[in-house]
Every structure is written in C-alpha cells, then in structure tokens.
C-alpha cells in the first residue's frame, strides 16, 4: 500500500483547529491541486471563495451553526459557476444555457472533484479538513454574503486548518454492500451484510470516548433522511438561473 | 511539494489502455479508497457498479460513443443510491424521502467525492483513468443495462487501466480567475486574466502533436454549453423517484 492510498484510507474529518491561518502559499497550493482534477468537457464550472473577513465568517457560522466554520485556518466555499461562461457568451453568436438538470449535475460534479482534490492535498500536508454541507441551511443568505450573481450556487464549504484533534475513523459500508458486478442486486442479497455493519457501527458508538450512544447506521441515516429540510435549495437554484427546464 | 501533491497537480486523462484487466485486489483497493472519502451526514448515498460483462460494456460504449468505454482495465459506474435507505426505512417508523433537490445534490456530491478518491488511488498505483459523463447520453438505457431500481441514478462512469499513452496536460483557469476572496468579483475584474488564458490555450492547441487546431477555452466552452443536450436527465431522475418537490 503506497503513501497516497494510506492517506486516502485514513481520512477522518477534523472539527477543531489551531488559531493559526493558512498562509498565501498554502492557499495557492490547495487551489492549484483542486483545479487539476478532471472537469466535464474542460468547462470548469466552479469557483472557490476563500472567506477571511471575520464578519462574514461569523455570518456563515450562524447559517451552519457549527463553531469550526468560524474557527479554522481557512474557510473555502465551493460555488457552482456558469457566470463567467455566460459573460463570455454575451460577446459571441452562441445562445448559451445552463438551466437543464444536466448542467446543474455538471457544475456539482466539477466543484466536488476539485474539492476532494483540495481535501487530499491538505491532508497530505498534515492539515485537517471538514466538508460543510451545512451552508445549504440557507443558500439565499450565502448568496447575499458572498455577492453571488446569476449562474452561481454555493454548494458546500470546507474548513481547513492545523488540527488539534485526531478525529475519529468512521467505518464505511462493507465492500459487498457498495460494490456490485454488472448489475444492481436484490435487497435480500445485501440485507445480512448491512445487519453486520449495523452491529459494528453500534459497537463503535458504544465504545468511543466522547458522545457514547446506542445507535447504528441504519437508524441514523433513516432518521436523517426523514427530515424535510433544505427544501428552499430548489427555489434558490431557480432564482440563480438553474433548473429552468 | 510532496508526492501526493505532485500526483494531484500532474493529472491527465488517459483514453488508451493495455488489454489487461485489473485484478480483484486492485478493484478492492480502489473501492476501499473511494469509500473513505467524506460523506454527507454519514449517509453514503452511492453505489459503484463494476462492469465486466463484454455485452454490457459494448452496450455502454454505444451510449458513450467512446472506444475507451469498452477497451480498458475496468469500467466503474458511479450510481447515486438511496435505494438501500428506502428498503431499511420500510421496516422503521420513519417516512424517508429523497425527492428534494437537496437529496439529489447530496447523492451527486457523495458519489463524486468517492470517485475522485478512486481516481487518485488509481493514479498513485500507476494506473490511468478517465471520467465518463457520456453515460448520461442515455440514462434510461443505462438504468436498463444495470437493472437500477427506484432511488438510484447512474451519474458518471470511470474507465481505469494500464495506460499506453501519457495523456496531455491541460492548463486550468488561472488562479485569479477561479479563486476569490470574500466575495464574487465583477466580470471586468477577471476579463483580462481570461483573455491571457485563451491565448495560452490557443498556443497549446496549435502546438500539440495530435488534433492540432485553432481554438481557445472561451470559444470551446461557449460552444459546448450552447448545445441543448441530455434534456432527458430530468425526466429520468423523476422516474427514479428524485426531484419530486
């Protein structure tokens, strides 16, 4: 197993950082590593906003309700971005559009490929990271804070910094429950594997140092997915020019 | 610059592979590396299907119209997947739903984080990869081929294999055109940077060995984004139980 694979397989989210900002060189290295990820048809349908203004960080923390959104080495917001393409098209004979579901998928995929590269680059430098889907608690407010124009949407954030905790390793679904050959299986074929996994996750929650509880994966995700949340994401996307057809 | 960052910043897509399949251990290492990527609220809203059946590979090549979809070391299809959550919820008191735009974003992000980890793991082992958004040319047919149930959607593929070409390095947008501090800029502030970039990309297309042409980034992406394609993605997602609200 090479060093990169060890790094990938040892990922854990970090939510407590030293009070020390990333320097400019580090930010540049992270962004450049992010940018070299694959991008759909060379479109590069995303931008990255680094939030350093303390007032803005505080405002975003209020949306996320997570202290590490304010207290970190650097806060990156990943933005689906067709605005620059729209501006460039205005001078051309082409009738550019990005209001299909397909275009939104392209933008989300491009932003996410870049972000995961940044995560790995950061971890390879000894930094810690955590993704922040929580900015979608209030995408309209995020758009206001970052002054985001038509053709853009803030899809998630990432807090990066010098870790002051190790983070805990969370066991993923068993290989047999996530990888299938040639076709999707019947649920009965994976049921037992999921039961074993629930058992293992339950042991983890019972045995960890902080926030011990009696829980397992199935219970947890079923509960999470039964919450009707972030239903405004759709309307905000429409307002930004997406999902028109 | 450490080895992992060198690897990230040296990425290039590979579209010609040796006629040699990945072995089982390699597939397992790739999938396990993929799985350890971050996942929204531990939901793990994706599955990975490895396509080894020659008939199925041929059928998918017809959708993608790309030879490397059939001729590679292994073909992975990344699937947004809430099916297992739905099955688990059926035995619970919770009323699970995944038909919001938010849920679709979560699934696409989860699948993409995993896929980029796989890409990096593969490249760290000396393998080559290329992403295949082209499977979305006919998502309904992909669903039929892979027998994908409600709550799933084939978002993209990845061909992996032993490279027989170096691939070409494609210069990304300048740092100043993609990274902004604290707020989104006016287009006038990045216009000149984009012009310089177009110039550089034009030089690249003129100077490369194969497929020389007079082109630049702006022209290329504006043309790409003016094609009205893959408009069925929306209806297929709805049919699979997504985007209901």
A190 contacts chain B (CB < 8 A): yes
Mean pLDDT over A189-196 rounds to: 95
What stretches of B99-243 adopt beta strand conformation (E)?
Answer: 128-132, 152-161, 179-181
Question: What is the predicted pLDDT for the residue at A101?
Answer: 97
Gap between the Cα atoms of B199 and A221, Å rounded: 49
Q: Which of A7, A27, A226 sits opposite B96 (nearest CB)?
A: A226
Q: Is the pLDDT of residue A67 over 90?
A: yes
Gap between the Cα atoms of B74 and B66, Å rounded: 15
**How many CA atoms, within 13 angstroms, populate the side-chain half-sphere of residue A16?**
5
Mean pLDDT over A183-200 rounds to: 96
> Residue A117 has which token pair?
């590269």
In terms of CATH, what superfamily is B3-167? NADH Oxidase (3.40.109.10)
Query: Contacts of residue B7 in chain A, CB cutoff 8 Å?
Result: 4
- Helix crossing, B188-207 with A83-90: angle to 10°? 80
User: String of b and e for A140-161 (b: at least 16 CB within 10 Å)?
Assistant: ebbbebbebbebbbbbbbbbbb
Mean pLDDT over B149-175 rounds to: 96
> Residue B241 has which token pair?
């139980």
Percent of chain A topping pLDDT 70: 100
Among B241, B217, B32, B227, residue whose Cα is nearest residue B125: B32
> Residue B100 has which token pair?
């919001």
> Residue A111 has which token pair?
């932003």
The answer to whether the Cα torsion of A163, A161, A154, B136 is positive or negative is negative
Q: How far is B154 from chain A (nearest CA, A)?
A: 11
CB contact under 8 A, A116 and B113: yes
Q: Is the pLDDT of residue A245 over 80?
A: no
- To test the contact with chain B by mutation, choose from A1, A3, A5, A12 the residue with the greatest count of B C-beta atoms within 10 A, namely A5
Q: Which of B9, B102, B121 sits opposite A8 (nearest CB)?
A: B121
Q: Is the pLDDT of residue A227 over 80?
A: yes
Asked if B111 and B208 touch (Cβ cutoff 8 Å), the reply is no
CB contact under 8 A, A182 and B56: yes
pLDDT-derived band at B212 (thresholds 50, 70, 90) equals confident
Question: What is the predicted pLDDT for the residue at B204?
Answer: 86
Residue B207 or residue A111, greater confidence: A111
CB contact under 8 A, A182 and B28: no
Question: What is the predicted pLDDT for the residue at B115?
Answer: 98
Strand A74-81 and strand A46-51: the pairing is antiparallel
Which residue of chain B comes nearest to A24, CA vs CA?
B181
Can you give the residue ranges of every domain in chain A? 3-167, 175-222
Question: What is the predicted pLDDT for the residue at A212?
Answer: 86
- Count the Cβ atoms, other than its own, within 10 Å of residue B244: 12
Q: Using the 8-state DSSP alphabet, how is residue A184 labeled? A: P
Taking only the tens place, the pLDDT of each residue in B21-72 is 999 999 999 999 999 999 999 999 999 999 999 999 999 999 999 999 999 9
Q: Is the pLDDT of residue B87 over 80?
A: yes
pLDDT-derived band at A89 (thresholds 50, 70, 90) equals very high
Q: What is the rounded end-to-end Cα distance, in angstroms, of chain A?
A: 47
* Cβ neighbours for B25, distance < 8 A, ≥ 6 positions apart: none
């Amino acid at each position: 197993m090479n060093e990169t694979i060890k790094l990938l397989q040892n990922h854990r989210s970090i939510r407590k950082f030293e009070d020390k900002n990333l320097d400019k060189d580090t930010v540049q290295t992270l962004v450049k590593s992010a940018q070299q990820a694959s991008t759909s048809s060379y479109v590069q349908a995303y931008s990255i906003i680094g939030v350093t203004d303390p007032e803005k960080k505080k405002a975003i923390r209020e949306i996320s309700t997570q202290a590490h959104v304010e207290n970190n080495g650097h806060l990156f917001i990943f933005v689906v971005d067709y605005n620059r393409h729209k501006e460039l098209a205005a001078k051309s004979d082409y009738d550019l559009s990005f209001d299909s579901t397909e275009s939104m998928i392209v933008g989300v995929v491009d932003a996410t490929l870049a972000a995961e590269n940044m995560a790995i680059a950061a971890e390879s430098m000894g930094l810690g990271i955590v993704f922040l889907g929580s900015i979608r608690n209030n995408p309209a407010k995020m758009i206001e804070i970052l002054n985001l124009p038509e053709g853009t949407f803030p899809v998630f954030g990432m807090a990066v910094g010098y870790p002051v905790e190790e983070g805990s390793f969370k066991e993923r679904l068993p290989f047999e429950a996530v990888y299938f050959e040639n076709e999707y299986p019947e649920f009965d074929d994976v049921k037992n594997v999921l039961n074993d996994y629930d058992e293992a996750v339950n042991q983890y929650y019972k045995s960890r140092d902080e926030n011990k509880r009696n829980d397992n994966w199935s219970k947890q995700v079923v509960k999470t997915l039964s919450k009707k949340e972030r239903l405004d994401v759709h309307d905000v996307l429409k307002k930004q020019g997406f999902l028109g057809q």
